[in-house]
């Protein structure tokens, strides 16, 4: 009993440290901003930090807890971003911005969850690399469709087409909400650092509680041994779908935050293509698979890195690539892990002998 | 007639995908890693040929051999520096490192060759095949690509089945630990795999750029991803699967562009991929993996 | 677990260093500001080493967040894609702007101030573009020469209007790029080019059946196509096919060409960039499809593609404000300098970048900008001056602006004959 109680308090303590870290970072940043010690660049990056932290936590739920590789999370982010941006643009000026953003958040989260659920039904039947490639395919399909989508409203209602803006046949006074490749222009700027941090905390709360819940334990048992889990009566498909849908929904929340931070929203290969999905995966892998706190730190670090490297001008992305490879080898190579262990052992041994003396 | 033309153009595109997919599937089959940098090795191969043919005026055949040599060295170096330290780590870590290598190669090319498009000289100087009074044109580079594909496919299959090192590759792909215990040099075998995969990339680069003569630092990335999809389509790890997957992907892509929507062709191609994988979860010719309890 | 803890500690330590690094940036204008100043000066050449020292000193003395005008420098920021698939456009605009800056500095600067250009990468991503903008703000940017692409321009315009920083986009062609009072552009807008092309083809009776091949994932291309299709209804020709392609699908155009051929098109309209057009011309010639091609300013640069077989582009017509082969003194001088410095033939983006800097100069001189003015004052003064100036640039003679931010200039129709652009 005693050991069990000790272990529980340890995980709880671990979770509390994560919350505390986010809150502390928020307070420190707010203090620095209010005293004018933060450059415009960092101030501008605060919301993206939150966006990528949320989506990294979301993906970690799929990769670390569910144990399946998804290369399509940018697609869910894209769905959340576009659905919420369309809503906010349509109701710009029609309701107070706080309420509007709240509804936009719900819309983004629900739409992404719905798409995640629909994608999850076929996808989760597959395994390993095949699952990864199918999620990648779904992400690309979502991006491709949104790039060909035209949506507008006028007095006659909603018009929509997959061809071009002319085929919308709008009245003179109509507003084009999604304009194909140009996407959504003029989304109100409702995201800010405080909202971002609150959303990070909510995401953390959802994910950490999910992991510690009965459902979460069922999901992890599927990850560790699917056959054993099945044999004790766990409904594999159901639990996988639950985890995947939550993950997609949270990615959608990140998308909402992203969309409301910029006035121009486009679905380019750069921001919602497979490259972005892979970048999110980099956050997760670098921060430690299954390590939620690590995901947040890695997301912040890797979002900051290319900006800090701007001083290198032409060599920026080159150095970024080298740093990425070096970090991966340092964090994951069996030799490097062994080396770090030895260094640590020597340090702790030194401290012990120091104490004794 | 226009259907036949679309079909031939599809095969022409697909044969290039197939050639790239062969390299992907080779490395995946043996080393069990998705080498996302494969497309960028292709791009480097293209630049080597561009520089040696257009810049130094070398014979195309000699430049292809130089390109193969450069890519082989590049492939083995990448494997040694970036992938080997991660042997035994999570496959995800290797995947991410491969992405890093891909960025690295793109940015090196950007710095060395600049961002502007280079028009590639077609190294296949044979005349195009014209049927029905020129109503149907089959490009000579397509014919060459298909022939090269078949040669490589047969050659690889024979190599893997008949030679000692080929059988060592099969052993490594089955079980690295057991192969090591049997006295097989796992690192060496994987290095050879990368050497072969990269020299194939050089050939693919030349033929890709001959068929679609615009060379930029990002030339390799999209065909690379498409070829990866083709390899999965055919059953990743399967050599004939890569060929069939590539050709099918090209044909489907072109036909959906022609008859459904040119904007949504990617969505259609990926949807078909998903449907195929749902029906046959390991691709068209993939091996079913037995699950152990 | 231990391993993870350690790596976290390590990551935390890294973040701590980075954060402290950032803190000092705003606090005392320390290392970062100094580094950038030196960098920019190195780019502009050795002749202004004196001002460089002065600039560094002033940056040390005053807060870097404030305008660093005391040393007599005028800081122009630029934003565009310098890496990634669109790098060719961003780099060209950067190089073009740099040439203009060097020329202006050699001739005594703007209103006696030395011009500094700091061009940042946005990777064709709106979010990165805003990051680049903030970086430039930290650097002390007074005027923005950017962004090169439409989507990024729109995103940054929302920030620049808040901060009241004057924005002149060299090549952001979407309508929404210049909706704010502080934003102007050098290039034509997309609708402008679309209708001008349709009218030109109609008035000159170039064709009766037209096929269009356009990039539906690109704002520029789909914008022109849309207006072209609209205007086509009033013109004596019909659009027989409209083949779209996307950024992920731009190597094989056989289907679109085959459709155009089957539909019996006698002219193919290409509202796209020259990189894709070079492939289209090659593939058309491979399939024996001999047809008249007609393009917009994006097509300019096609003859500059290294190793391109110019015979493929024979008889291609384009409506463009800039042609690298033009024989006027300004263009010849620009093309020669560009070739010497960067070893390439400049395209239209380079010309837009060059004109953008000279437009800023003209507006600044009209408004009488002085070193001690704040960004808001500069912005108001320049926005007002823009409607009063007339610029003779590479992309048009006597360009004028109205308050909406749109330039007025005449496109030139050129045809490629014997491998050179010839006026029609």
Tell me whether residues A166 and C131 touch, CB distance under 8 A: no
ipTM of the prediction greater than 0.90, yes or no:
no
Q: Say yes or no for a CB contact (<8 Å) between A285 and B86.
A: no
Whole-number average pLDDT of chain C: 80
How sure is the predictor about A8, in pLDDT bands with cuts at 50, 70 and 90? low
pLDDT for A352 equals 59
Q: How far apart are CA A119 and CA A113, in angstroms?
A: 10
Residue C143 has pLDDT above 80, yes or no: yes
Secondary structure element (H or E) that encloses residue C75, with its range: strand C73-80
Please indicate, yes or no, if residue B272 is contained in any of the structural domains.
no
Chain A residues inside the 8 Å CB shell of B287: none
pLDDT at C54 over 60: no
pLDDT for A341: 86
**Per the structure, how many domains does chain B have?**
1
Is pLDDT above 90 for C314?
no
The confidence score (pLDDT) of residue C75 equals 92
- The model's pTM is 0.86
Q: What is the pLDDT of residues C123-140, one digit of tens each?
A: 888 899 999 999 999 999
- pLDDT at residue C66, as a whole number: 37
Which pLDDT score is estimated for B54? 82
The answer to whether A317 touches B107, Cβ cutoff 8 Å, is yes
Question: What is the rounded distance in angstroms from the CA atom of residue B7 to the CA atom of residue B11?
Answer: 6
Of the pLDDT bands very low, low, confident and very high (cuts 50, 70, 90), residue B288 is: low
pLDDT at C178 over 70: yes
From chain C, pick out residues whose CB is under 8 angstroms from the CB of B121.
Answer: 307
pLDDT digits (tens, 9 = 90+) for C242-277: 888 888 888 889 889 988 988 889 999 999 888 888
Average pLDDT rounded to a whole number, residues C227-235: 88
- Statement: residue A31 has pLDDT above 70: yes
In a domain, B162, yes or no: yes
| Chain C: closest CA distance from residue B6 (Å) | 6
Mean pLDDT of B124-131: 77
Where do the structural domains in chain C lie, given as residue ranges?
A: 69-188+344-408, 191-320
Q: Which of A242-251, B12-21, C179-188, C338-347 has the highest mean pLDDT?
A: A242-251
Considering only A127-131, B137-141, C194-198, C215-219, which range has the smallest mean pLDDT?
A127-131
pLDDT above 70 coverage of chain B, percent = 97
Q: Is the pLDDT of residue A349 over 80?
A: no
A283 has a chain B CB within 8 A of its CB: no
- The reply to whether B150 falls in a domain is yes
The pLDDT, as a whole number, for residue C250 is 83
DSSP C368-416: T--TT--HHHHHHHHHHHHTT--EEETTEEEEEE-TTS-EE---EEEEE
**Same topology between domain C69-188+344-408 and domain C191-320:** yes
Among residues B285, B187, B272, the alpha carbon closest in space to that of B235 is found at B285
Give pLDDT tens digits for B221-254. Answer: 888 888 888 988 888 788 899 999 999 999 999 9
Contacting subunits of C (3+ beta carbon pairs below 8 A): A, B
Which residues on C lie below 8 Å from A36 (Cβ)? 26, 65
Per the DSSP assignment, residues forming a β-bridge with C146 are C79
| pLDDT exceeds 70 at position C309 | yes
> Is C249's CB within 8 Å of B218's CB?
no
Give the domains, in start order, of chain A with CATH numbers. 2-356 (1.10.3470)
pLDDT at C326: 77
Distance of residue A284 Cα from the nearest chain C Cα, in angstroms: 13
Mean local confidence (pLDDT), A329-338: 86
- pLDDT > 90 fraction of chain A, expressed in percent and rounded: 44
Provide mean pLDDT across the span B60-87: 92
Burial of C398 (0-12, 13-18, 19+ CB in 10 A): exposed
Fold of C191-320: Rossmann fold (3.40.50)
Domain extent, residue B167, equals 11-221
Give the pLDDT mean for C407-419.
82
Residue B291: pLDDT band by 50, 70, 90 thresholds?
Answer: low
Q: Is residue B80 part of a domain?
A: yes
Backbone angles phi, psi at B215, to 5 degrees: -110, 120
Residue B70 lies in a domain: yes
Has residue B173 been placed in a domain?
yes
Measured between CA atoms, the residue of chain C closest to residue B128 is C286
What pLDDT does B213 receive? 85
B180-194, C70-84, C164-178: segment of lowest average pLDDT = C70-84
What pLDDT is recorded for position B289?
58
Predicted confidence at residue B105, as pLDDT, reads 94
Element (H, E) at C77: strand C73-80
* Euclidean distance between CA atoms B31 and B33, whole angstroms: 5
State the architecture of C69-188+344-408 in CATH terms. Answer: 3-Layer(aba) Sandwich (3.40)
Give the pLDDT of residue A177. Answer: 86
In a domain, B247, yes or no: no
Nearest to B236 by CA among A269, A132, A124: A132
**Beta carbons of A263 and C246 less than 8 Å apart:** no
Contact assessment for residue A113 and residue A245, using Cβ atoms and an 8 Å cutoff: yes
Q: Give the pLDDT score at A298.
A: 93
The pLDDT value recorded for residue A138 is 92
pLDDT digits (tens, 9 = 90+) for B198-213: 999 999 999 998 888 8
Mean pLDDT calculated for residue range A210-215: 92
Inform me whether the pLDDT recorded for B265 exceeds 70.
yes
CB–CB of B96 and A138 under 8 A?
A: no
E strands of chain A, at which residues? 150-154, 157-161, 175-179, 184-185, 264-265
């Amino acid at each position: 009993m005693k050991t069990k109680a000790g272990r529980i308090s340890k995980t709880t303590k671990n979770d509390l440290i994560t919350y505390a870290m986010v809150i502390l970072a928020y307070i420190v940043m707010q203090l620095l901003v209010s005293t004018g010690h933060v450059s415009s660049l960092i101030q501008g990056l605060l919301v993206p930090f939150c966006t990528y932290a949320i989506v990294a936590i979301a993906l970690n739920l799929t990769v670390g807890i569910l144990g399946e590789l998804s290369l399509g999370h940018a697609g869910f982010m894209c769905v959340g971003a576009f659905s919420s941006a369309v809503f906010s643009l349509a109701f710009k000026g029609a309701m107070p911005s706080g309420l509007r953003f709240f509804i936009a958040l719900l819309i983004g989260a629900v739409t992404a969850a719905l798409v995640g659920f629909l994608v999850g039904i076929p996808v989760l039947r597959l395994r390993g690399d095949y699952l990864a490639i199918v999620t990648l395919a779904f992400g690309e399909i979502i991006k491709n469709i949104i790039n060909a989508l035209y949506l507008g409203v006028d007095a006659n209602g909603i018009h929509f087409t997959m061809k071009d803006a002319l085929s919308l046949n709008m009245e003179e006074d109509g507003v084009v909400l999604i304009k194909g490749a140009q996407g959504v222009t003029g989304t109100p700027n409702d995201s800010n650092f405080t909202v971002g941090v609150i959303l990070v905390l909510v995401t953390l709360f959802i994910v950490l509680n999910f992991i510690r819940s009965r459902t979460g334990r069922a999901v992890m048992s599927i990850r560790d041994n699917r056959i054993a889990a099945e044999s004790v009566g766990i409904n594999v498909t159901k639990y996988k779908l639950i985890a995947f849908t939550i993950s997609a929904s949270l990615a959608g929340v990140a998308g909402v935050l992203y969309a409301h931070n910029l006035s121009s929203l486009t679905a380019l290969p750069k921001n919602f293509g497979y490259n972005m999905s892979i970048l999110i995966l980099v956050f997760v892998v670098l921060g430690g698979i299954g390590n939620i706190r690590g995901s947040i730190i890695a997301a912040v670090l890797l979002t900051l890195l290319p900006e800090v490297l701007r001083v290198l001008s032409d060599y920026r992305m080159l150095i970024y690539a080298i740093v990425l490879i070096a970090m991966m080898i340092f964090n994951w190579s069996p030799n490097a892990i062994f080396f770090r262990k030895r260094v640590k052992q020597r340090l702790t041994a030194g401290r012990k002998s120091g104490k004794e003396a | 007639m226009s259907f036949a033309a679309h079909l031939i153009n599809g095969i022409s595109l697909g044969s290039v995908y197939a050639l790239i997919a062969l390299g992907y599937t080779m490395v995946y089959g043996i080393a069990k890693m998705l080498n996302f940098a494969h497309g960028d090795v292709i791009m480097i191969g293209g630049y080597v040929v561009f520089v040696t043919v257009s810049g130094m005026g070398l014979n195309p055949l000699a430049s292809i051999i130089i390109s193969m040599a450069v890519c082989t060295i590049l492939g083995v170096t990448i494997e040694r520096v970036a992938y080997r330290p991660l042997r035994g780590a999570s496959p995800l870590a290797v995947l991410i490192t491969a992405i890093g290598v891909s960025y690295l190669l793109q940015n090196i090319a950007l710095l060395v060759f600049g961002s502007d498009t280079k028009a590639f000289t077609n190294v296949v100087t044979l005349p195009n095949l014209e049927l029905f009074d020129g109503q149907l044109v089959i490009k000579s580079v397509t014919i060459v690509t298909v022939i090269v594909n078949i040669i490589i496919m047969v050659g690889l299959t024979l190599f893997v089945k008949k030679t000692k090192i080929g059988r060592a590759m099969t052993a490594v792909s089955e079980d690295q630990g057991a192969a090591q215990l049997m006295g097989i040099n796992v690192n060496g075998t994987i290095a050879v795999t990368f050497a072969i995969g990269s020299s194939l990339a050089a050939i693919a680069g030349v033929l890709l750029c001959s068929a679609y003569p615009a060379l930029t630092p990002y030339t390799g990335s999209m065909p690379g991803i498409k070829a990866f999809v083709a390899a999965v389509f055919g059953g990743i790890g399967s050599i004939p699967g890569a060929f069939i997957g590539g050709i099918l992907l090209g044909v489907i892509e072109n036909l959906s562009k022609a008859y459904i929507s040119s904007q949504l062709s990617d969505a259609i191609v990926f949807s078909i991929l998903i449907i195929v994988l749902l029906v046959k979860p390991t691709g068209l010719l993939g091996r079913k993996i037995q699950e152990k309890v | 677990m231990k391993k993870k803890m350690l790596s976290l500690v390590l990551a935390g330590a890294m973040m701590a260093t980075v954060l402290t690094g950032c803190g000092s940036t705003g606090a005392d204008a320390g290392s970062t500001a100094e580094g950038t100043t030196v960098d920019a000066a190195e780019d502009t050449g050795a002749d202004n080493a004196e001002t460089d020292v002065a600039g560094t000193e002033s940056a040390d003395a005053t807060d870097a967040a404030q305008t660093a005008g005391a040393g007599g420098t005028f800081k122009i920021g630029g934003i565009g894609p310098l890496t990634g698939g669109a790098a060719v456009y961003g780099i060209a605009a950067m190089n073009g702007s740099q040439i203009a800056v060097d020329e202006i500095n050699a001739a005594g600067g703007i209103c006696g101030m030395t011009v500094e250009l700091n061009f940042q990468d946005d990777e064709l991503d709106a979010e990165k573009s805003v990051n680049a903008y903030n970086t430039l703000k930290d650097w002390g940017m007074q005027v923005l020469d950017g962004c090169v692409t439409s989507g990024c321009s729109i995103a940054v315009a929302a920030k620049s209007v808040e901060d009241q920083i004057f924005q002149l986009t060299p090549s952001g062609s979407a309508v929404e790029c210049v909706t704010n009072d502080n934003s102007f552009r050098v290039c034509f807008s997309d609708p402008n080019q679309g209708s001008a092309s349709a009218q030109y083809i109609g008035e000159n009776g170039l064709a009766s059946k037209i096929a269009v091949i356009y990039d539906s994932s690109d704002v520029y291309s789909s914008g022109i196509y849309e207006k072209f299709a609209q205007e086509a209804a009033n013109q004596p020709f019909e659009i027989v096919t409209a083949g779209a392609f996307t950024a992920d699908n731009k190597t094989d155009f056989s289907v679109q060409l085959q459709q155009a051929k089957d539909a019996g098109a006698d002219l193919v309209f290409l509202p796209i960039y020259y990189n894709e057009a070079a492939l289209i011309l090659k593939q058309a010639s491979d399939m024996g499809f001999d047809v008249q091609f007609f393009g917009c300013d994006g097509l300019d640069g096609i003859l500059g593609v290294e190793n391109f077989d110019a015979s493929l582009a024979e008889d291609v017509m384009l409506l463009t404000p800039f042609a690298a082969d033009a024989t006027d003194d300004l263009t010849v001088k620009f093309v020669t300098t560009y070739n010497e410095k960067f070893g390439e033939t400049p395209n239209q983006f380079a010309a837009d970048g060059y004109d953008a800097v000279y437009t800023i100069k003209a507006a600044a001189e009209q408004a009488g900008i002085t070193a001690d003015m704040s960004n808001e004052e500069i912005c108001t003064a320049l926005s007002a001056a823009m409607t009063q100036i007339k610029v003779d640039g590479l992309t048009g003679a006597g360009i004028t602006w109205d308050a909406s931010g749109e330039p007025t200039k005449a496109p030139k129709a050129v045809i490629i004959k014997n491998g050179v652009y010839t006026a029609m």
